[in-house]
Amino acid sequence: MKLGETQPFASPSEALEHYGVKGMRWGVRKQNPSASDLSAKAAFTGGGMGHGHPAFELHDPSSLSIDKSKGYADIRPAGGFANSSVESRHAEIIASLDEMRQTYPSVANMKIEVVPMSRVPGHEENTSGSFAAVQGIKQGEARIMYNDVLGELEPYQAQFVKKWMPGVGTPNYVGYHEMGHLLAISHGVQGPTYNTVLRGRNRDYNKYAKTNQKNHKALLKKHGLSFKELSKLSGYAATEPSEAMAELAGYYHSPVMRQRLDPATTRKARALFNEMGGKT
């Protein structure tokens, strides 16, 4: 099925995946010409960023441009964005990333790529059902993928997404959600995927996924935040502890959505994200 079809789904989880809520990671500044004369492949060569294996090398790098003027690799299609929705999606990721780098030392110290999702090996098909995603590659390195294909949603689709993620539609909310995942990677709560991806065995991935959720749940508990309580933030938050933490990040960092948190939760969230971000 493609986004835009109206047939029913077998389950809520299938619908979530279809509409991009599962794995949902969601304006345009002038590109600095002096920082854009490198091919995308050069962003990784000799600089880490997961380069060194085809499993992490972007497809067709010669048709991509890179801007490294802000201290991270902002990679875009050389011919421009496919549509205005992609342009806005990319701008939201950039705006929230810039804010988080200014706020949290652990994020500022990371090697980060912002890349078109369709160019990432293994993620090409996700462009039909995911707005954005974050992946830890090696220690201190992360990749933020923005959907560079998907256009504007139909009204009924937007309503569906809003039902499961109430913050969608407020400025930079989905970007803030993604920054929750980025903070988790910077803090080691969500581990690197490099070796897991290279091995490609189900048991390795299952172990990684289980450990990831266990780590998130433990950190939430440390700060007096329970997965059960955070699951009430949204239907998406209820899917797993890592998404509950990301949704909390969306609420906490959004001036609009933060008003929905009670004072105690806001205080605990501040302590949680300050620890994750290395902020003292």
Looking at residue 52, its pLDDT comes to 67
Across the range 35-50, mean pLDDT stands at 43
Each residue's pLDDT tens digit, 215-231? 999 999 999 999 999 99
Q: Whole-prediction pTM value?
A: 0.83
> Does residue 42 or residue 6 have the better pLDDT?
42
pLDDT tens per residue, range 65-76: 999 999 999 999
- Measured CA angle at 102 (ends 101, 103), to 5 deg: 95
> Which range among 20-29, 77-86, 120-129 has the greatest average pLDDT?
77-86
> Would you place residue 1 in the very low, low, confident or very high pLDDT band (cuts 50, 70, 90)?
very low
Q: Which of 183, 32, 172 is nearest to 93 (CA)?
A: 172
Domain ranges of the chain: 12-276
Residue 33, both tokens: 């010409």
User: Beta strand 111-116 with 132-136: parallel, antiparallel or unpaired?
Assistant: unpaired
Residues 6+ apart with CB under 8 A from 121: 54, 55, 56, 57, 58, 59
Name the residue among 152, 153, 146, 138 with its Cα closest to residue 186. Answer: 138
At 47, list the tokens: 């600089």
Average pLDDT of every residue of the chain:
83
Name the band, by pLDDT with cuts 50, 70 and 90, for residue 21: very low
3-state secondary structure the chain: CCECECCCCCCHHHHHHHCECCCCCCCCCCCCHHHCCCCHHHHCCCCCCCCCCHHHCCCCHHHEEEECCCCCEEEEECCCCCCHHHHHHHHHHHHHHHHHHHHCHHHHCCEEEEEEHHHCCCCHHHHHCECEEEEECCCCEEEEEECCCCCCCCHHHHHHHHHHCCCECECCHHHHHHHHHHHHHHCCCCCCCHHHHHHCCHHHHHHHHHHHHHHHHHHHHHCCCCHHHHHHHCCCHHHCHHHHHHHHHHHHHCHHHHCCCCHHHHHHHHHHHHHHCCCC
Please report which confidence band the pLDDT of residue 184 belongs to, taking 50, 70 and 90 as the band edges. very high
How do beta strands 141-146 and 111-116 pair? parallel
Tokens of 214: 């266990």
In this structure, what token pair is assigned to residue 71?
A: 């201290």
Distance CA 126, CA 90 (A): 16
- CA torsion 37-150-56-175 (nearest 10°) is 80
